[in-house]
Amino acid sequence: MSRLPLLLALLASPVAAAPPSWIVDDFPRALSEARTRQQKLVVDVMADWCEPCHQLSADVLDTDAATPVLQGVVAAKVDFDSQRGQDVVRRYGVLGLPTTLVLSSSGDELGRIEGFEKRDEYVEALKALLAGGDDLASTRAAWEKQKTNVDRTLAYATRLLGRGESARAKELLAPFLAKDDGDGAKASRLLGRWLLRVQGDAAAAEAHFRAASQRYAKTASARGLRYWHAKALAKLGRIDEGVAVFTATQTPEAASDLADFLVGEKQSPTRCMTAIVDALKRTPQTATADHAWLRYLAAETARRNRDYVSAKREIKKAIALDPKRAIFTHLSERLDREWAKP
């Protein structure tokens, strides 16, 4: 019996697209390839500790769904914490993670997507930018329709800061920074993050967030401002002062933030685990997502200490509590790889 009909049928069948190939943490090489090919460059600025970064990769970028979107472009992933990553952060004014940059073949920014929430919305936004959409123009148009809206102003100011137009951005933020309410807190947070992440001025950022934490202590942004104050202190090498920012507020949220802060700053396993255990005791059992995150922090701490048995136990607890969070499954897979090494 001839096998020709079967072979022809197989050839005619659609072949599932493979996930796209990424140039990892080598922006100069990616830009060089984009110039050589005369293609646009998509850059995913991410970090290992960034939860939405993991979700973006798991839901979109590292799946076959991204292949047709990224066809005909050079794709690169940049680690926020690496030296090359910091070069990109400062060059393009990256304020939040994840940030997806769409660049021309010469490296000029065409647009960006900040954050990640829903897969379909993200894919459509990326398609629009690759098709020639003007991100800055559309953001400005939305702001011009409602200039007193803080969120639209922040979005436009963020784009301006990213393109080096800090004077204009500060001018837009000024009316909100004059307020003592939640809008002022949001504007202050944006400006402080720019000082710390883009300008690299930890001293100015520390003074800014210290004042903001006091001024906006009764707003919904108070917790985030305190966290950023501690991060600025850490950049200055003042870890213990950063710890004091959290211990001054005896709440379950502050205890959880302290654990997150210490793990993020790669403090000793003993110090991290002490904070994690305390936070677990303080956090209500009904706060499932918070407990899952603390178990993840415990797993990451154990991994750094090469205690893979404890790490696997803790990450299994995290996944059992909240199985859809990609950062948990990614750590579990990483533990399997590291544990298997001789």
Give the residue extent of every domain in the chain.
Answer: 12-133, 134-249, 250-342
- Nearest Cα residue to 94 out of 43, 59, 170, 130: 43
pLDDT tens for each residue of 29-87: 999 999 999 999 999 999 999 999 999 999 999 999 899 999 999 999 999 999 999 99
Quick check: do 12-133 and 134-249 share a fold? no
pLDDT confidence of residue 115: 95
Residue 341 has pLDDT above 90, yes or no: no
Question: Which CATH code, of 1.10.760, 1.25.40, 3.30.420, 3.40.50, is assigned to 134-249?
Answer: 1.25.40
User: What is the overall mean pLDDT for the chain?
Assistant: 94
pLDDT tens for each residue of 251-293: 999 999 999 999 999 999 999 999 999 999 999 999 999 999 9
Considering the entire predicted model, what is its pTM?
A: 0.91
Region 250-342: CATH code: 1.25.40.10
pLDDT tens for each residue of 105-147: 999 999 999 999 999 999 999 999 999 988 889 999 999 999 9
pLDDT confidence of residue 140: 95
pLDDT confidence of residue 342: 67
Overall fold of domain 12-133: Glutaredoxin (3.40.30)
